[in-house]
């Protein structure tokens, strides 16, 4: 009987696999790698090169800029916003890198304002995507990884060795 009680106690206890701080560090590692890809990408191809109908890398980055920082601001404020991928950049990669750095700070400061107790709250981001705070954050990270994978294909198609994906 005592063994059964121990099993029941273990199964009802909440075990933490990763802390919020570790999740933020993990995400910022991904953002650092994506930034290195943006830096390394040849500017003459950044706004135009595509394969098989995929968008140019610049458009993928603009999507990432429209989702993560604004999405976290929406989670923190509770104010619904519309997804807006338009950013003025004058076809300058340096301007996009500047926006990337600004959004990285937005992510960092807003993430720290989300109490762990809210991570499983049901929310709707950009007025249409239903989930929880944590599922939204994981989507923001997954979306970045997905688009970074497309950038790796672009690098290879241009004959360029991309930064190693494991160096975060």
Predicted confidence (pLDDT) at residue 12 exceeds the cutoff of 70: no
Structural domain count, the chain = 1
pLDDT at 40: 96
| Three-class DSSP category at 125 | strand
**Structural domain for 56, as ranges:** 24-157
What's the pLDDT band for 3 if we cut at 50, 70, 90?
Answer: low
Predicted confidence (pLDDT) at residue 164 exceeds the cutoff of 90: no
Give the number of C-alpha atoms closer than 13 A to the C-alpha of residue 114, restricted to the C-beta side: 29
pLDDT at 6: 55
Instruction: Report if residue 105 sits inside a domain.
Output: yes
Predicted confidence (pLDDT) at residue 168 exceeds the cutoff of 90: no
Instruction: Report if residue 100 sits inside a domain.
Output: yes
Q: List the structure tokens of 140.
A: 């923001």
Question: Backbone phi, then psi, for 150, in 5-degree steps?
Answer: -60, -40
Q: What is the CATH number of the domain that holds 77?
A: 1.20.120.450
Q: What's the pLDDT tens digit per position in 46-73? A: 999 999 999 999 999 999 999 999 999 9
Instruction: Report if residue 106 sits inside a domain.
Output: yes
Instruction: Report if residue 3 sits inside a domain.
Output: no
Burial 134-159 (b: 16+ CB within 10 A, else e): bbbbebbbebbeebbebbeebbeeee
The answer to whether 162 and 152 are in contact (CB under 8 A) is: yes
Predicted confidence (pLDDT) at residue 5 exceeds the cutoff of 70: no
Instruction: Report if residue 166 sits inside a domain.
Output: no
Give Dmax (Cα) for the chain: 71
């Amino acid at each position: 009987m005592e063994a059964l009680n121990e099993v029941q106690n273990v199964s009802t206890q909440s075990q933490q696999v990763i802390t919020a701080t570790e999740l933020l560090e993990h995400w910022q590692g991904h953002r650092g790698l994506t930034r290195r890809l943006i830096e390394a990408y040849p500017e003459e191809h950044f706004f135009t090169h595509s394969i098989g109908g995929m968008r140019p890398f610049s458009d993928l980055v603009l999507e990432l800029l429209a989702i993560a920082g604004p999405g976290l601001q929406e989670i923190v404020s509770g104010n619904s916003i519309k997804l807006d991928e338009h950013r003025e950049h004058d076809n300058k990669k340096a301007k996009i890198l500047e926006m990337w750095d600004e959004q990285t700070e937005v992510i960092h400061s807003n993430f720290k304002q989300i109490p762990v107790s809210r991570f499983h709250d049901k929310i709707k981001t950009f007025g249409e995507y239903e989930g929880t705070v944590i599922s939204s954050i994981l989507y923001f990270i997954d979306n970045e990884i997905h688009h970074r994978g497309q950038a790796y294909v672009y690098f290879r198609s241009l004959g360029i060795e991309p930064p190693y994906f494991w160096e975060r």
